[in-house]
Amino acid sequence: MNNILNSIGLLKKPADTTVVVAMSGGVDSSTVAGMMKNEGYNVIGITLKLYNDSKEVASSKQCCSGQDIMDAKRVAQKLGIEHKILYYQDKFKQGVIDNFVDSYLKGETPIPCIQCNQTVKFKDLFEVSKELKADALVTGHYVKSITLDNETNMYRAIDENRDQSYFLFNTTREQLNYLRFPLGGMLKDETRSIAKKLDLNVADKPDSQDICFVPNGDYASVIRKFRPDSFKKGNIKNLEGQVIGVHEGIINFTIGQRKGIKVSDIDPLYVLKINSDKNEIIVGPRDKLGKKNININNLNLLVDKSYLSKDIFVKVRSTGRLLNAKINLKENNSAEVNLKDLEDGISPGQACVFYSLDQKGYKVLGGGWIVN
């Protein structure tokens, strides 16, 4: 009997282990597929077709486009692995795009990448991988996963500029025990170096930068396409409740925004609040942007609640820094987050992700969605 853990933490020889690799067509997932193949695993690559490309999407730097699917197919052929394409356009629209549009119309700042991971990518891909009798689902996310005693915990990647743990906080415990993230302990340059050694055609491919279904970062165009009647003029008010201007639609604004307000004052004005029910935005000086208390709902915890009784760290935006905080759990799967210091630009619709520091790094404890 084999008593030695393989490279993904399972008590099986690689030759006796089947893994599904989620292949987006980018350099990261392609490299992971190559690494798994080279280590002797039985590899099945799966690529998801999530939306129908427009000319704008096809020419922008986005993931999961038609070109990406072709790139993934070529990589699979190069590696000599089985490759499947799953057509999930309807599921993606219902689970991700519709939520994105609805969230913006409520004055929130949504994160469709988390919704995509939570629904289509991990939920459906998880089920398909199980049906294929795979031992693990492997992805190219920059997250560290450490498996001990058949339980996997998630940590921030060593490359903090690439760390994607924020986008994966809604992963369930069952999914996490099945997922593997080989790139979490590597730098991006190392990934590209491996891709070049494997002679993969995507070794120098630029990273995707935009939300996959948003052409060139133009969110308003997506709203206009799916809800053309949603662009309604409304009032811009100051903190005293006085009308000081008119906007062309609340979907053009996010919390903390300065550009596009088109109202002059002694000091620069920033969006402080969006009242979707009244179709109005509230603006004021930058020193009014700071918050110390945040309410969140729909909590997803990957650890016992006792972890949250101590001082922890939180992240309130994908590009933000770690903030010192205390968590006060409440009823109905909600919580109040008390920050040690004021933080600007905290927006409903964003995620608040919890971390604690131990000997292995910053461990992901879970998180929730910011309400106000």
User: Pick the catalytic residue: 63, 113, 212, 352?
Assistant: 212
Contact 298, 330 (CB under 8 A): no
Largest interatomic CA distance in the chain:
76
Distance CA 340, CA 352 (A): 15
Which residue carries 């795979």 as its tokens? 134
Query: Would residue 113 show up in a list of annotated catalytic residues for this protein?
Result: no
Map the chain to HEC letters: CCCCCCCCCCCCCHHHCEEEEECCCCHHHHHHHHHHHHCCCEEEEEEEECCCCCHHHHHCCECCCHHHHHHHHHHHHHHCCEEEEEECHHHHHHHHHHHHHHHHHCCCCCCHHHHHHHHHHHHHHHHHHHHCCCCEEECCCCEEEEEECCEEEEEECCCCCCCCHHHHCCCCHHHHHHEECHHHHCCHHHHHHHHHHCCCCCCCCCCCCECCCCHHHCHHHHHHHHCHHHCCCEEEECCCCCEEEEECCHHHCCCCCCCCCCCCCCCCCEEEEEECCCCEEEEECHHHCCEEEEEEEEEEECCCHHHHHCCEEEECCCCCCCEEEEEEEECCCEEEEEEEEEECCCCCCCEEEEEEEECCEEEEEEEEEECC
Query: Would residue 63 show up in a list of annotated catalytic residues for this protein?
Result: no
Distance CA 75, CA 263 (A): 52
Q: Which residues are catalytically annotated?
A: 116, 212
